[in-house]
Amino acid sequence: MTGDFTLQFLQILGEVFINAETHADSSLGVFVCGQFYPNQQRLVLSIADSGVTIPERVNQRFKINLPAIRALRWALVEGNTTKRDTPGGVGLKLFAGLYLCQPGASPDCQRSGILAVSCRSGRIQRI
């Protein structure tokens, strides 16, 4: 990884942790596991918390019942946030921008099933 990429990656990872703490209401915090594959120059991370999922938070905030895929699509749009009277909506968009430009993006597991994010199109689909 280049120095610029490493800095961007660490900033975005920090934003993911802050978002989990801010939005998930997890009493257990955030859990992270990772593995680096040096032959492939590939880092695989799994980030989880025991709190509210993104679709649950979107639906609670706006008192709607969007399917998980639509709620995630909404959450990936820059400027969209479930915060009240506070700017937001940057962290997940930054993470998605970094994530979607990397080859071999892995599935995103939600309580409602496993969702795959396409690297090329950014398309989210249930698998």
pLDDT tens digits for range 15-69: 878 888 888 888 888 888 889 889 987 777 777 888 888 889 999 999 999 988 8
Output the pTM of the full model: 0.67
CA angle 101, 49, 6 (to 5 degrees): 35
Distance CA 89, CA 105 (A): 22
Structural domains in the chain? 3-126 (3.30.565)
pLDDT tens digits for range 69-116: 888 888 878 888 888 887 777 666 666 665 544 444 444 545 555 555
Beta bridge partners of 36: 43
Distance CA 55, CA 52 (A): 8
pLDDT tens digits for range 34-46: 898 899 877 777 7
